[in-house]
Amino acid sequence: MAAVLPFEKRGILIGIAGGSGSGKTLVAQKIYDELGSDQVVILKQDFYYKDLSEIPTGERDVRNFDHPDAFDMDLLRSQVRNLLMGGSADVPVYDYITHLRTPATRRVGPHTIVVLEGILVLIDPELRSWMDIRCFIDTDADVRLLRRLKRDILERGRSVESVLHQYELTVRPMHLQFIEPSKRYADVIIPEGGFNLVAIDLLKTKITSILAGHRHPQEA
């Protein structure tokens, strides 16, 4: 039985969860590329990290960014709801290097499909109840660590030592405590993320089927 929602849901919500470096972004991008920017918007849970401007600069790198409390879930839920109702949202722009939310925002919407990807998007009961498809990207821990090392060093100016320290201190424990258990909420488990072409094709077929029964938000 479909969940009874407290609002008129006009859009489609696809949740993509998985550990850091699992390949969530690649899966989301493939959906976007196939269905087009006029229909799809990608929201990353990372956009909704809480601003750490009140924390001294030297202490920000050692914060736990993999715990549910690291995210502004109230804002995330509010903006996802607006998009699903056929509206727009001013999405935060987060600076991963300084761990600060910038003054700029990015206006998105209306879109028919909202792809929400992030490590913890499946642990929130309210968001789950709005999702039409719930995916979990299941990738081996060593592959995820190597991808995270490469990303954080090249894109975020981190050192190898700091990435490994953070992985041991918070990333791995939080994965075992929160992220891995959220797999039980998934409708679809995709090994190796966007490189699993068969799973991606099946996912696109399902999305197309759901689309056939939906109006575009601007048509409502």
Domain range annotation of the chain: 12-202
pLDDT for residue 2: 52
3-state class (DSSP) for residue 161 = helix
d(CA 99, CA 60) in angstroms, rounded, equals 7
| Distance between start and end Cα atoms, the chain | 24
pLDDT per residue, tens digit, the chain (220 aa), is 455 677 889 999 999 999 999 999 999 999 999 888 789 999 999 999 999 988 887 788 778 999 999 999 999 999 999 999 999 999 999 998 888 999 999 999 999 999 999 999 999 999 999 999 999 999 999 999 999 999 999 988 889 998 999 999 999 999 999 999 999 999 999 997 778 888 888 898 999 888 887 655 555 4
- Give the per-residue pLDDT at 185: 98
For residue 50, CA distances in Å to 3, 60, 77 come to 30, 11, 14
Q: CATH assignment of 12-202?
A: 3.40.50.300
Distances in whole angstroms, Cα of residue 184 to Cα of each of 18, 48, 72, 171:
12, 24, 24, 20
Q: What is the largest CA-CA distance in the chain?
A: 52
Given this model, what pLDDT does residue 91 score?
98
Is 115:40 a contact under the CB 8 Å cutoff? Answer: yes
* Residue 215, pLDDT score: 56
On whether the pTM is more than 0.75, the answer is yes
Coarse DSSP helix, strand, coil percentages of the chain, rounded to the nearest 5 percent: 45, 20, 30
Q: What pLDDT, on a 0 to 100 scale, did the predictor assign at position 129?
A: 96
pLDDT of residue 184: 97
Q: Radius of gyration (Cα) for the chain, nearest Å?
A: 17
Cα separation, 203 vs 182, in Å, equals 19
